[in-house]
Amino acid sequence: MRGVRSSLEQSHVVLQLLSEPIKVASNSSIDSVLAPHYEKAAKMKFGQLLEGVNSKLSEPLAFADAFESLQQARNCFEHRNGIVGPVDAPAGGVLVLRFPRAKIFYLKNGSEVELQSGQVVNDGSENAGVQIHFKLDIRERRFGLGSRITLSAADFNEIAFACNLFGTNLHAGILSAGTDKPKDAM
């Protein structure tokens, strides 16, 4: 999640530079020009930063609320050793951790049946084959006030996938934002 935050900060700076022409003294270094933009981004809360970046993209990043919940869990790990405190669970005493994941499933009697390792696939019909489906979905974990956030290896893999998905979508959004302007505006 620190990588996600850092990516958002850098994207914020790039998008600011793309949207607002700046004048600099000829003896300025690139570091001195960029420093105020990086300082501003570093001071923003995660939600503000995400909202600011999303506002400048032609298509907002998917699953923004899930990434805010991941950031909330990261804060809990870092500041409270993973023990859910009142600041982590203000609504109803529960921290809801949500993260995007890849869901692979088949349909059986109209219901989605998620594939598990080693599972024999049978949709209950006499058909010779079963159609396998894939979609992006949200996994949700709930942790009550005073409980410790625990993640399985499978959860960790899905969170890593989510961070990769975030980076890929952010990269595509930044590239698109850089080419959306008319040439004479650059």
CA distances from 130 to 71, 122, 127, 134, 135 (A): 38, 7, 7, 13, 16
pTM of the model: 0.74
* Average pLDDT value for residue range 3-18: 88
Token pair for 150: 């625990």
Residue 86 has pLDDT above 90, yes or no: yes
Q: How confident is the model at residue 81 (pLDDT cuts 50, 70, 90)?
A: very high
Question: Phi and psi of 135, rounded to 5°?
Answer: -155, 160
15-29 pLDDT per residue, tens: 888 887 778 888 888
Q: Flag whether pLDDT at 127 surpasses 90.
A: no
φ, ψ (nearest 5 deg) of residue 34:
-80, -25
Task: Give me the half-sphere count of Cα atoms (radius 13 Å) on the Cβ side of residue 129.
Answer: 3
3-state secondary structure of 111: strand
Give the pLDDT confidence of 136-185 residue by residue, as tens digits.
Answer: 999 999 999 999 999 999 999 999 989 898 888 898 888 887 665 543 44
Give the C-alpha distances (Å, rounded to integers) separating 66 from 23, 53, 63, 99, 140: 38, 16, 5, 5, 9
